[in-house]
Amino acid sequence: MTVDVAWATAWVRGSAGAVLEHRDELVELDRQIGDGDHGENLARGFTAVLARLDALEEPPAEIGDVLKLVATTLMSSVGGAAGPLYGTAYLRAAKITGAPTLDSAGVVAMLEAALEGIVVRGKASPGEKTMVDAWTPAVEAAVVAAHAGSGPADVLAAAAAAAERGSDATVPLVATKGRASYLGERSAGHRDPGATSSALILRAAAQAASG
Ligand code: ADP
Ligand code: MG
Ligand code: MG
């Protein structure tokens, strides 16, 4: 059981659709504990990604080619914290997915590389009310599912569900990284926008794999 390049492009298109659909919600979350641009930032970035995907003359040969296109586009079109964080995540993921297909172990490695990129770039630990709080449980759940013998679609579904729970769990946290940390204790009681968008992106990955 594997996912392929068609899955990767469906994932990216699904991510763009989810980000555009939830743009206002992401703006509102970021308005509460940040500067209110997270939805706009990601909508602009993923719109640019779609344009570049549509402009390709030939389908990409490897999953990493798709992820590299996302990385470079987000880095050049999304400002603020999220652009470099997601850009580094996709770039790290692209580096280890230079293949036409991925099995469950490959999907786990891809998710681990993405989290590693976010942590290298942003230096956040779990519990600081950032996107790391979605990605960390997602990777943990993916590892468990793969070890239990699940195929890539079920590995991604486990990761998405864990990311959603992780995003929910950011609500009571006090932010100690990023713009929300300027609010100190007043950041508690609000969901982190980046953890929310991360859960959307991982849900899109699972949906693309389940057909
Ligand atoms: P900005 O804060 O520059 O306006 P965005 O609004 O696009 O950028 O993104 C904010 C999101 O970025 C936060 O909700 C959080 O999830 C994430 N973030 C901010 N700083 C960090 C960090 N150091 N590590 C991980 N994620 C972070
Ligand atoms: Mg913002
Ligand atoms: Mg900003």
pLDDT per residue as tens digits for the range 161-193: 999 999 999 999 999 999 999 999 999 999 999
Contact 160, 195 (CB under 8 A): no
User: Which atom of ligand 1 lies at the shortest distance from residue 198's CA?
Assistant: 16
Residue 79 confidence (pLDDT) above 90: no
User: Which atom of ligand 1 lies at the shortest distance from residue 35's CA?
Assistant: 4
Residue nearest atom 24 of ligand 1, based on CA coordinates? 122
Give me the mean pLDDT over the 19-39 stretch: 98
Predicted confidence at residue 125, as pLDDT, reads 98
- The question of ipTM being above 0.95 is answered as yes
Ligand 1 near 37 CB (within 6 A): yes
Predicted confidence at residue 77, as pLDDT, reads 96
Domains, the chain, in order of start with CATH, read 3-209 (1.25.40.340)
- The DSSP string of the chain is --EEHHHHHHHHHHHHHHHHHTHHHHHHHHHHHS-S-HHHHHHHHHHHHHHHHHH-SS--SSHHHHHHHHHHHHHHH--TTHHHHHHHHHHHHHHT--SSEE-HHHHHHHHHHHHHHHHHHH---TTSSSTHHHHHHHHHHHHHHHHTT--HHHHHHHHHHHHHHHHHTTTTPPP-SSGGGGGGGGGTTS--HHHHHHHHHHHHHHHHH--
Q: Rounded to an integer, what distance in angstroms lies between the CA atom of residue 188 and that of residue 172?
A: 5
Give me the mean pLDDT over the 56-79 stretch: 96
Ligand 1 near 62 CB (within 6 A): no
| Ligand 3 midpoint to CA 81 (Å) | 7
Ligand 1 near 81 CB (within 6 A): yes
Predicted confidence at residue 41, as pLDDT, reads 97
- The fraction of the chain above a pLDDT of 70, given in percent, is 100
Average pLDDT taken over every residue of the chain: 98
Ligand 1 near 24 CB (within 6 A): no
**pTM (predicted TM-score):** 0.98
Residue 211 confidence (pLDDT) above 80: no
Ligand 1 near 193 CB (within 6 A): yes
Residue nearest atom 13 of ligand 1, based on CA coordinates? 194
Residue 79, Cα to own-chain centre: how many angstroms? 16
Residue 203 confidence (pLDDT) above 90: yes
Give me the mean pLDDT over the 63-91 stretch: 97
Predicted confidence at residue 63, as pLDDT, reads 98
Predicted confidence at residue 61, as pLDDT, reads 97
Ligand 1 near 124 CB (within 6 A): yes
Predicted confidence at residue 187, as pLDDT, reads 98
Give me the mean pLDDT over the 81-101 stretch: 98
Residue 151 confidence (pLDDT) above 80: yes
